[in-house]
Structure 1
Amino acid sequence: MQAEINKALEVLKNGGLILYPTDTVWGIGCDATNPEAVKKVYELKKREDSKALICLVADDRMLKKYVKQVPLVALNIIEVTDKPTTIIYDDARNLADNLIADDQTIAIRIPDDELCYQLTRRLNGAIVSTSANISGEPTPKSYKEISQEVLKGVDYVVNLHHEKKCDKPSSIIKLSNNGVVKVIRP
């Protein structure tokens, strides 16, 4: 696994795109602080950059680097949830401008996955994680379902867990600083 992580990190640090298995689905990833890399993700997915992407971070300490004020309830949710949960936070910071939504929010997940943990920890930063499909097409449930267009559009495919089946994407919850909680995707 270390050799795969090292290769993926080299691509990420050089502004490239990786295809990698996450705690939910196969994802297209890049350094979340690199606006040119983020632009490549939008282009590959044929997605408008007004539609925000999800980021992965290693832990709550790293989360605080990218969110001005992490609501206490967010840390409670992260601690008790037993399924992958992405939280949309207000007041995003220290990320590529084209990754942050117009309302200054950002969707971030702390995955329970060793590969994702190692990538974010060793990059010392957030990684974009968006499903490995062209916008509007179904999310692939396995590596075999990923289109040739996506496979050819990334700079590196992590050679791990190709047999992994993915049931569904993460739940998404929006936590506003004013205390409003909204379930976006159960």
Structure 2
Amino acid sequence: MLSYTESHLDIKKVAKIIKEGSTICYPTETLYGLGCNCEDQRAIDKIYDIKKREKEKNFTLLFKDLNMLSDNCETSDSETRLINKFSPGPFSILLKVKKQSSINSKIISANKEVCCRISSHPFVIRLFEVLDTPIVSTSANLSGNNNIFLFKTIYNTFHNLVDCIIDYGDINKSLGSTIVKDTSNDLAIIREGDLSSSLIMDFYNGKS
């Protein structure tokens, strides 16, 4: 198992092992996440096994920017406005996957959607400087258990389960990202997270 700290980080090596199908535990601006190449079904299956998560439940995907997101997903004008306003950060949005996308079908919902996010965390930003594919992002805890904020607990829980752990120390308590879906005539709040849903709704309705 590889382990890196913020000050001793071989980002090219991390990107390489992700591309080759390895699983990682890494920091985001909300929670530590478990992740892998979104195109690699074997790696995706391993994340499901590590989390002890039902296969019917999908994962969030992290994208470098709006360009990478638009290459893989359909975005309406209103969805693009929301992404530009609240990303990067603790904001996720459900979007339709394009037919030509290489995102593995294992993590695409029955109605052809994925949960998309652009992270503001320095590690993720550095990673996408050398990685050209979206990555899986699911909170680093076992399904149904509380979120973990202490790195020592993260390490003790996952160091024998993943191929690589990125140590950025303890993190602040977080609810995770806020998840939304733009329906035909309204914006649905799927999950309340660190970003205020009222702030998002005010912007969506033209009040801010």
Q: Alignment partner of 1:158: what SS?
A: strand
Q: Could you list the runs of 5+ residues in structure 2 that have no partner in the other structure? A: 1-5, 193-208
Unaligned runs of 5+ in 1: none
1:175 corresponding residue in structure 2:
182
Superposition deviation, residue 9 in structure 1: 1.3
CA contact (8 A) 2:180 2:187 kept: yes
TM-score normalised by structure 2 residue count: 0.80
For residue 70 of structure 1, what is the aligned residue in structure 2? 75
1:124-163 → structure 2 map (5 Å cutoff): 124-146=132-154, 148-159=156-167, 161-163=168-170
The CA deviation at 1:66 is 1.5
| Superposed CA offset, 1:140-178 (max 9, x none) | 12323327342311000113x1133242200000124x3
**Count of matched residue positions in the alignment of Structure 1 and Structure 2:** 183
**8 Å Cα contact 1:47/1:135 also seen in 2:** yes
Residues 24-59 of structure 1 show CA distances to partners (whole Å, capped at 9, x for unaligned) of 100001011111111110011111121010010010
Q: How well do the aligned residues superpose, as a CA RMSD in angstroms?
A: 2.0
**Do structure 1's residue 120 and structure 2's residue 128 form an aligned pair?**
yes
Taking a change above 3 Å as real, the CA distance of residues 52 and 155 of structure 1, as seen in their structure-2 partners, is same
Distance 2:57 2:78 in 1: 25
Partners in 2 of 1:44 and 1:77 — Cα distance?
A: 33
Matching residue of 1:48: 54
Deviating beyond 6 angstroms after TM superposition, the runs of 4 or more aligned structure 1 residues are none
In structure 2, the CA distance between the partners of 1:148 and 1:72, relative to structure 1 (3 Å rule), is same
Identity of aligned residues (%): 27
* Aligned counterparts of 1:142 and 1:102: Cα–Cα separation in 2: 35
Q: Is the 8 A contact 1:50 1:102 kept in 2?
A: no
Give the number of the structure whose alpha-carbon radius of gyration is greater: 2
Farther off after superposition, 112-121 or 144-153: 144-153
TM-score using structure 1 length: 0.89
Name the amino acid aligned to 2:163.
D
> What's the counterpart of residue 19 of structure 1?
25
Shift of 1:124: 0.4
